[in-house]
Amino acid sequence: MPKIKNSLMNFSGKIDELVFVDSKRYGAHTRKRPKPGSKKNQAALKQNYKRTAFLNKLASDINRIIQTHSGAHKHPNFYFKLQKRFRSQSSDNRFVLLRTLQGLDVHPLYTLDKVLGDHEIRFSYPKQKIQFEVTVKTHPRQRVKTNCYSFELLLITWNQGSGSASHQLQVSEWVYPDDPKPVFEFSFRRSPKTVHWILCLGQKMGWDRQPPASMKAQGMRIVLAETFLKKEMSLLTTSSKKTLAGGPSNPELLRVKPKRTN
């Protein structure tokens, strides 16, 4: 029913096909009630609003976490690149969306490839853990004012029934080009509710165990996206491949020592 205002001439509400609006900005006026099936009530439009909110939340979480650990190295357009990859898919399945991020560098100019060197990553699932083994095949080529390097692994996870992401970060000991080629083992805690995860691999050149000032001497990339749900594993055509060919580290973090050298 209409709601009576201070003036008998000004009221708001709905009567039959008319909507009475008491607007301070545009004055009192009437408009027609939206008809069923109009744009405002289209199911497809409502679904699009819901999808947009979901994609924004997913991209925002990833962008925020990487920003926390990479700082200025993260390009200002990184968030929009996340969105572009997500919108290339018609599916709202989070794993399908995360899978599109494989190979995405945090900065388009200072990429992981430009740090050079050769390494491989293998992952496994010991009890309540996600474990990564990083094997150095070739030391990266030293740049001006750099004489060592380190790895950074940033693991971002999603639990079943939760729309928000969690993350863990580990960095390796500094490695010198004259050292034997190391094999690092990074072990992360895994909740029983974890269903999806992505791995960001960072590599940073340094000088005497200190991070460099130049962004040119570092790179970070989303290298892997995986699921624990069997029904989603069947979507993969390369799910059996658990090896990847080849960031900013915080000096206050506990650094992972090589478990062996080659």
- Tell me: the pLDDT tens digits for 186-230? 999 999 999 999 999 999 999 999 887 777 888 999 999 999 998
Residue 232, token pair as written in the block: 């989603």
Q: Is 106 helix (H, G, I), strand (E, B) or coil?
A: coil
Positions of the chain with pLDDT lower than 50, given as ranges? 1-9, 238-253
Pairing of strands 194-206, 165-172: unpaired
Nearest to 256, CA basis, from 182, 191, 146, 155: 182
Question: Quick check: is 63 in a domain?
Answer: yes
Res 112: pLDDT: 86
Question: Quick check: is 232 in a domain?
Answer: yes
Nearest to 74, CA basis, from 184, 239, 213, 202: 202
pTM given for the model: 0.75
Res 141: pLDDT: 81
H helix or E strand, kind and range, residue 136: strand 129-138
Q: Which residue(s) pair with 245 in the sheet?
A: 120
Say which CATH number the domain at 251 has: 2.60.40.10
Domain that holds residue 141: 44-261
Q: Which strands make up the sheet holding 27-32, listed edge to edge?
A: 3-4, 11-15, 18-23, 27-32
Res 101: pLDDT: 96
Please state the domain count of the chain.
Answer: 1
Question: Quick check: is 30 in a domain?
Answer: no
Question: Quick check: is 21 in a domain?
Answer: no
